[in-house]
Amino acid sequence: MEASFIFLKERKKMEEKKTFYITTPIYYPSSDLHIGHTYTTVAADTIKRFKKLTGYDAYMLTGTDEHGQKIQKVAEEAGVTPQAYVDDVVSRIKKLWQLMDIDYDQFIRTTDPDHEKTIQRIFRKLYDQGDIYKGKYEGWYCTPCESFWTETQLADGKCPDCGRPVEKASEEAYFFKMSKYADRLLEYIEAHPDFIQPESRKNEMINNFIKPGLQDLCVSRTSFTWGVPVDFDPGHVVYVWIDALPNYLSALGYLNDKPQLMDKYWPANVHMVGKDIIRFHTIYWPIILMALDLPLPKRVYGHGWILLKGGKMSKSVGNVVDPVELAEKYGVDALRYHVLREMTYGADGIYNEDLLISHINSDLANDLGNLLSRTVAMTVKYFDGVIPTEREAGDFDADLKQLAEATPAEVEAYVDKLDLSRALESIWKLVSRTNKYIDETEPWVLIKDEGKKARLAQVMYNLTESLRIISVLVTPFMPSTGRQIADELKVPQDKRTWESIQHFGGYPEGVQVERCEPLFPRIEVKKETAAAPAKEKKQDKGDKKQAADVPEGLITIDDFAKVKLKVAEVVDCKPHPDADRLLVFKLNLGKEERQVVSGIAKYYAPEDLIGKKVVVCTNLKPVTLRGVESNGMILSAIKGKKLSVITVEGIPAGGEVR
């Protein structure tokens, strides 16, 4: 009786496991994917892994968007059939995801017969219920973006999204009555503040697209054939976005014969998309769902773009950054870390190889890698690899323990906000605190005193335990690294769980560790820069040539880039002990604290600025002002007798200003 009660309780608990459905965009296999696509997929994978770790039944969908005029064109140019063309690119995309350690649950292709069935059935349903009608399309079409534009929407006669030339389109077509749903959509967006994120994108959608009035959307094409045929009107193929967006449903078996997962996973928790396609996901997509009488996804998150120093990546410029090349050169986890750390919430990020190398050398090799090798090496040296059970608590333990116990919840909160860069920042706060603990406790001094053995044992235990917690936290972001740390520390499987890191002290007794290889070998900067990928070098050459023709009085972007500006939080501000004009600031720059002296005492009382986020030049040569060292400069705006310190909102300390 008792046993069956427990069994039923367990079963109920399993059934109640919360689900989490996350999607990436389905990519056009019109060329190989670059580091920008890799970011979206790695981010979605990280979120999925994190939700799984925290007990969710998490499901991740990715795939390819294989129809449309663009694919038909590139296949023709390559002299192969569209199907042969996409099969080839898709196999490389799948290999890329395998290389990048992407744990997707389904890879959908819009050429899958089940997907095509869903599209035909949706099209017919919308036609039967009067939401789709037949007419004639007269307007402009951007093939690279697969977007329709009216004359007035064009920017200087070009596509307003990508700036490329558009083509005149005049053909018989079916139209979707978007306008019918505009009020409902606006109401929905306003009632669901989480639906479009970040907030700035929501305002853009409302003010630039919905409020000016939605036009009916052309949803079929007759000028080419590579698409899902409209089954009741041969000659028409479904417009590629109407074919693509419902992939999120067809993957779950909606109106087709696949396993039925709609009840379990729909509505999606997050659609991860780039900022350029947020319009399709927050206007067309919700309207299609409303017309199908289906609930809307809970969140559409529009992330920024990975840019290069000179701007966008483009195949025609030849500066596309190849993730395979980078992953093979620097390692998959290093690349995952770099893109996740560099792309701050909703904003664009810059890719450059120096930054990637600096992340590897500083955050990965120095901070994390050294922490592991020092901890293990000291355990081996002082205790033959087994930490004694007789231990004695001491100074600094409580502080480390408190941070280690607070970090999982903080990381979880950032992941839930989809702010993966700050989630990593939070883990690295614990990494730095643990490194600082080594300096504070000085194990190499403790070992010299026989009476301090028990204290030394506690220090080694705390270091190892902190690393165990770190290993669990980093696993969703860098799966092999997390696993490797836990393996080196011989952490049993039941101590690699989310529950097991809620309390400090879970590392088991009597574990034998052995010396380990460095987690991340340091990259020799000179050698690697010389071996930078050809594509980046090509861009550098162009930059140098441009720099040679700079007119008098102007500077190049490279000159400007020499000035390092960062967001800093004012932790403390006091009058200078020896100069009325000066204030002495203690600033938090994310990873470090600095003291800066500034001559603005006339304009501000010290307490006015505490807690504010200011902009600081961080690479000025330090100076001593009346006996107090100043390490940087706070930026202000000045006119006449007025001065105002430049402050920043919504960007964490350490954020770059450029």
Rounded to an integer, what distance in angstroms lies between the CA atom of residue 643 and that of residue 337? 40
Q: How far is the CB of 305 from ligand ME8 (least distance, A)?
A: 4
Q: How far is the CB of 562 from ligand ME8 (least distance, A)?
A: 25
Q: Which of 20, 21, 22, 28 binds ligand ME8 (CB under 6 A)?
A: 28
Q: Which is nearer to ligand ME8, 162 or 210 (CB)?
A: 162
Rounded to an integer, what distance in angstroms lies between the CA atom of residue 34 and that of residue 24? 15
Binding mask 312-351 for ligand ME8 (x = CB under 6 A): -x--------------------------------------
Q: Which is nearer to ligand ME8, 250 or 588 (CB)?
A: 250
Rounded to an integer, what distance in angstroms lies between the CA atom of residue 394 and that of residue 449? 15
Say if CB 130 and CB 138 are below 8 A apart: no
Rounded to an integer, what distance in angstroms lies between the CA atom of residue 386 and that of residue 378? 10
Q: Which of 53, 159, 244, 357 binds ligand ME8 (CB under 6 A)?
A: 244
Q: How far is the CB of 245 from ligand ME8 (least distance, A)?
A: 5
Rounded to an integer, what distance in angstroms lies between the CA atom of residue 68 and that of residue 224? 8
Q: Which of 127, 181, 239, 305 binds ligand ME8 (CB under 6 A)?
A: 305
Q: Which is nearer to ligand ME8, 247 or 435 (CB)?
A: 247
Rounded to an integer, what distance in angstroms lies between the CA atom of residue 403 and that of residue 469? 11
Buried b (16+ CB within 10 A) or exposed e, 258-280: beebeeebbebbbbbbbbebbbb
Q: Which of 22, 26, 252, 372 binds ligand ME8 (CB under 6 A)?
A: 26
Task: Give the phi and the psi of residue 542 in degrees, each rounded to 5.
Answer: -60, -45
Residue 555 has which token pair? Answer: 């500077």
Q: What angle do CA 135, 141, 145 make, to 5 degrees?
A: 125
| Residue 576 binding ligand ME8, by CB under 6 A | no
| Residue 455 binding ligand ME8, by CB under 6 A | no
Q: Which of 50, 51, 65, 230 binds ligand ME8 (CB under 6 A)?
A: 65
User: Which residues are 613's β-sheet partners?
Assistant: 569
| Residue 204 binding ligand ME8, by CB under 6 A | no
Q: What is the CA radius of gyration of the chain?
A: 28
Say if CB 220 and CB 172 are below 8 A apart: no
Q: What angle do CA 180, 183, 185 make, to 5 degrees?
A: 95
| Residue 67 binding ligand ME8, by CB under 6 A | no
Q: How far is the CB of 484 from ligand ME8 (least distance, A)?
A: 28
Q: Which of 245, 583, 614, 634 binds ligand ME8 (CB under 6 A)?
A: 245
Q: Which of 40, 256, 434, 598 binds ligand ME8 (CB under 6 A)?
A: 40
Residue whose Cβ sits closest to ligand ME8: 274
Q: How far is the CB of 566 from ligand ME8 (least distance, A)?
A: 23
Q: Which is nearer to ligand ME8, 33 or 485 (CB)?
A: 33
Name the CA dihedral angle for 610, 613, 619, 625, rounded to a multiple of 10 degrees. Answer: -20
Give the H or E element holding residue 595: strand 593-598
Q: Which is nearer to ligand ME8, 71 or 501 (CB)?
A: 71
| Residue 57 binding ligand ME8, by CB under 6 A | no
| Residue 32 binding ligand ME8, by CB under 6 A | no
Say if CB 46 and CB 294 are below 8 A apart: no
Q: What is the sign, positive or negative, of the torsion defined by CA atoms of 132, 137, 139, 143?
A: positive
| Residue 477 binding ligand ME8, by CB under 6 A | no
Q: In terms of Cα–Cα distance, which of 104, 113, 99, 30 is closest to 63?
A: 104
Strands (E), 335-453: 349-350
Binding window for ligand ME8 (CB under 6 A); candidates: 9-17, 22-30, 408-416, 417-425: 22-30
Token look-up 């550098």 returns 540
Q: How far is the CB of 56 from ligand ME8 (least distance, A)?
A: 23
Q: Which is nearer to ligand ME8, 318 or 577 (CB)?
A: 318
Q: Which of 39, 107, 428, 437 binds ligand ME8 (CB under 6 A)?
A: 39
Q: How far is the CB of 239 from ligand ME8 (least distance, A)?
A: 12
Q: Which is nearer to ligand ME8, 244 or 609 (CB)?
A: 244
Buried b (16+ CB within 10 A) or exposed e, 352-383: bbeebbebbbebbbebbbbbbbebbebbbebb
Q: Which of 261, 273, 403, 584 binds ligand ME8 (CB under 6 A)?
A: 273
Rounded to an integer, what distance in angstroms lies between the CA atom of residue 261 and that of residue 403? 40
Rounded to an integer, what distance in angstroms lies between the CA atom of residue 373 and that of residue 246? 49
Number of residues near ligand ME8 (by CB under 6 A): 19
Q: How far is the CB of 540 from ligand ME8 (least distance, A)?
A: 19
Q: Which is nearer to ligand ME8, 182 or 307 (CB)?
A: 307
Binding window for ligand ME8 (CB under 6 A); candidates: 83-91, 269-277, 562-570, 605-613: 269-277
Q: How far is the CB of 201 from ligand ME8 (least distance, A)?
A: 12
Q: Which of 76, 276, 367, 593 binds ligand ME8 (CB under 6 A)?
A: 276
Residue 584 has which token pair? Answer: 């002495």
Task: Give the phi and the psi of residue 61 in degrees, each rounded to 5.
Answer: -115, 135
- Site of interaction with ligand ME8 (CB under 6 A): 25-28, 36-37, 39-40, 65, 244-245, 247, 273-274, 276-277, 305-306, 313
